Amino acid sequence: MLELTDVTRSVRLADDRVLHILTGVTLRVDAGEHVAVVGRSGTGKSTLLNILGLLDSPTGGEYLLDGASTRRLSGRRRARLRGESFGFVFQQFNLLTGRTVLENVAAPLLYARGRQFWSRNRLAAEMLERVGLGDRLEDMPDRLSGGEQQRVAIARALVRRPRVILADEPTGALDVDTGTAVMTLLDDIARESGAALVTITHDLAVAARSGRHYRLADGVLVPVTLVSPDRPGSLAEWVGDVPTLGASTDGAPAPRAVPAGGAP
Amino acid sequence: MTGLVGALVEAWDELRVHKLRVLLSLIGVAAAVTAITGVTAAVGMLGQAMREQTERWSGRETTLTVSAYPVTGSGDAARASEAMADVVERYSVAYASRVGWGQMAVELPGGTQILSGQVVDPAYGVIHRIEPGQGRWFAPSDADRLAPTLVVNQAFLDALAVPDVSGHPTVVLQGRQGVLAEVVGAVPDQYPGEPPTYTVLTDQVERWGLSVDPWGAGASPPALELWVPPADVPALRDRVDQDLRAALPGWQVDVTEPVGEAGVLDSASRWVIIAVSGFALLLGGLGLLNIALVTVRQRIREIGIRRSFGATSGRVFFGVLLESVVATLVAGVVGVVLAVVALDALPVDRLLGTALQDEPPFPVSAALTGLACAAGVGALAGLLPALWAVRVKVIDAIRY
């Protein structure tokens, strides 16, 4: 369904230097798959997620969505595909202030058409019921706990029945127990709806819930296998990479992750 | 369809959420629309009041005044009256009145007095917008009543020693024989110290021979007033003139038409008022633009989030623009409502010194102009923030 081939992304800085964020990412995500990408802060995880979600475009390489190239998509078409195919879950929840929980979840349906648009409040209420917040419809988000706010964000990401859920550090702002509960909910709902789930995290316990795992280092995505969810090890064992300045990636610390298939 | 409805819902939600901001930024717009609508309506009322005041003296705007008098100095007044009646009948003039002045001997408690008064037909009241403060004006049937009827001034009532006309006061008029006349209506004195005066119907004066001629000047023919449709004024003027000249050889006939709207505010002053209000509206729009720019900067993150939902840049642009337009339109509606309420509460008769007979309709065109101006200002004020919102990069906006 999603297929990245040698995707690069670089940006020109104010002092005219070029920052290479992704230097050759190849990734394939099929329908219903759960994929985790781990990496240290600043390694380009969010950039990768933005490219997958059509919020950003690659500088080079190819991104195929359902077998079709996304390179020549118009802004309007990208926006429409984004709304129809992707649901985003952000680390900071990004709920709309001043709107009730119900209005927040119904907000994406304002950009839908037909029945989804006209039934937006009912669909939003059903989704909130599903995430266990059916009794908080008229509450303001700032009256909810962090875990509840993230559940609202999950309901909002899923209300248009996307085919892919892109979760950017979904437990980053939550304590361990709440994070576990939220991830369980996200996994379950994604599975129920048959949506693919791409989770970006630096939490190995969160990553371990996915079927496939990748580590982003040196702008390259490397498939890895977790040793054990119970002994995830420290993040330092996994990543040590930062985006490189200039064209060269020489001198970057070698990753010390366990390559896929090479786990002891 | 869903796009438009969605954008409207979104714009309305924004206004709802940012009520205070919207309220503050729109006070100027609402005030300006109130000014535009209210002042236009007030000018309309003032114009109407002045028009009615003028018409009380000289008759309605399209009233033709016909006068005829013998060139040789003597002539048959009855013949002139007949010729005038023929003209009225020939051209089916709905509102026509003979108008003359006369003197009658009236028996008052203090003794018989010779009083001056006006001699007219019932239509005179319509032509001159006369509404007696007490009682009523003459009805057409009054001309056929056996006893004469009178509409008098307050001084006449005082001389008659009656407080008002509710008791149907009567007074004896001396003519060929004394006749008891009923006072059916009274008008206020036109100036302090006005002597007792009256209005009586021409037919009654003729029937009872009520006119007295203390100086022996002889009866002069009455003038004739014809209130005709505006489109008929030129043609009727010429025809009436020709007909009367033919019917009254040796007579000087004058048919005068109204001189135009006297005392009505001219359009230039109206434009000045609208220009001043427009300037106020522009200032309101600048305030709105200022606040809109600030709040769009505060809303970058939200715009980014909405882009992640699938909002196109066009939708974001339209949404921000519409927000501003909807806000100013709401302010415009509030402004119009305020103008309506204010005008309704105004004691127009006290301010203008007279009650309006034909209150001008609320100036819908001014209200629509005010609303259109408000929407235009909203669109202008929303344009810059909308352009700015579209230029925001989605990924930067989400992280903002």
Domain boundaries, chain A: 2-245
Does B312 contact A76 at a Cβ distance shorter than 8 Å? yes
Indicate the residue of A76, A83, A90 with minimum beta-carbon distance to B314.
Answer: A76
A162 touches chain B (CB under 8 A): no
Mean pLDDT of chain A: 83
Does A117 contact B6 at a Cβ distance shorter than 8 Å? yes
CA distance B211 to B198: 13
pLDDT given at position A247: 29
pLDDT tens, position by position, A146-200: 889 988 999 999 899 899 999 998 888 788 888 888 888 889 888 888 899 999 9
Contacts of A61 (CB under 8 A, 6+ apart): A4, A5, A6, A7, A8, A24, A25
Does A99 contact B13 at a Cβ distance shorter than 8 Å? yes
CA distance B113 to B111: 6
Does B309 contact A110 at a Cβ distance shorter than 8 Å? yes
State the alpha helices, DSSP H only, in B91-214. 123-127, 154-160, 202-208
The yes-or-no verdict on residue A235 having pLDDT over 50 is no
From the CA of B281, how many Å to the nearest CA of chain A?
30
DSSP bridge partners of A9: A22
CA distance A167 to A87: 8
How many other CB atoms are there within 10 angstroms of residue B243's CB atom? 18
Does A111 contact B315 at a Cβ distance shorter than 8 Å? yes
Find, among A43, A2, A95, the residue nearest to A200 by Cα.
Answer: A43
Structure-token match 């390259």, residue found? A220
CA distance B149 to A41: 104
Q: Which two tokens stand for residue B209?
A: 């021979």
Find, among B353, B370, B364, B298, the residue nearest to B33 by Cα.
Answer: B370
pLDDT given at position B201: 92
pLDDT given at position A246: 31
Find, among A55, A157, A53, the residue nearest to A106 by Cα.
Answer: A157
The yes-or-no verdict on residue A228 having pLDDT over 60 is no
From the CA of A260, how many Å to the nearest CA of chain B?
31
pLDDT confidence of A252, banded at 50, 70, 90? very low
pLDDT given at position B266: 60
Q: Which two tokens stand for residue A108?
A: 């994406």
> What Rg value do the Cα atoms of chain A yield, rounded?
19
A98 touches chain B (CB under 8 A): yes
Indicate the residue of A75, A94, A112 with minimum beta-carbon distance to B305.
Answer: A94
CA distance B129 to B125: 6
Question: Taking the domains of chain B in order of start, what are their residue ranges?
Answer: 2-56+264-399, 59-256
Which residues in chain B come in under a pLDDT of 50? 262-263
Does A83 contact B395 at a Cβ distance shorter than 8 Å? no
pLDDT given at position A167: 93
A203 touches chain B (CB under 8 A): no
Indicate the residue of B10, B307, B313 with minimum beta-carbon distance to A110.
Answer: B10
Residue type present at position A247: A
A75 touches chain B (CB under 8 A): yes
Residues of chain B in contact with residue A55, where contact means CB-CB under 8 angstroms, are: 307-308, 394-395, 398
Check: complex ipTM more than 0.90:
no
From the CA of B394, how many Å to the nearest CA of chain A?
6
We find that the CATH architecture of domain A2-245 is 3-Layer(aba) Sandwich (3.40)
pLDDT given at position B4: 79
A30 within 8 A of A23, measured Cβ to Cβ: no
pLDDT tens, position by position, A109-156: 999 888 889 999 999 999 999 888 999 999 999 999 988 998 899 999
Three-class SS of residue B256?
strand
A110 touches chain B (CB under 8 A): yes
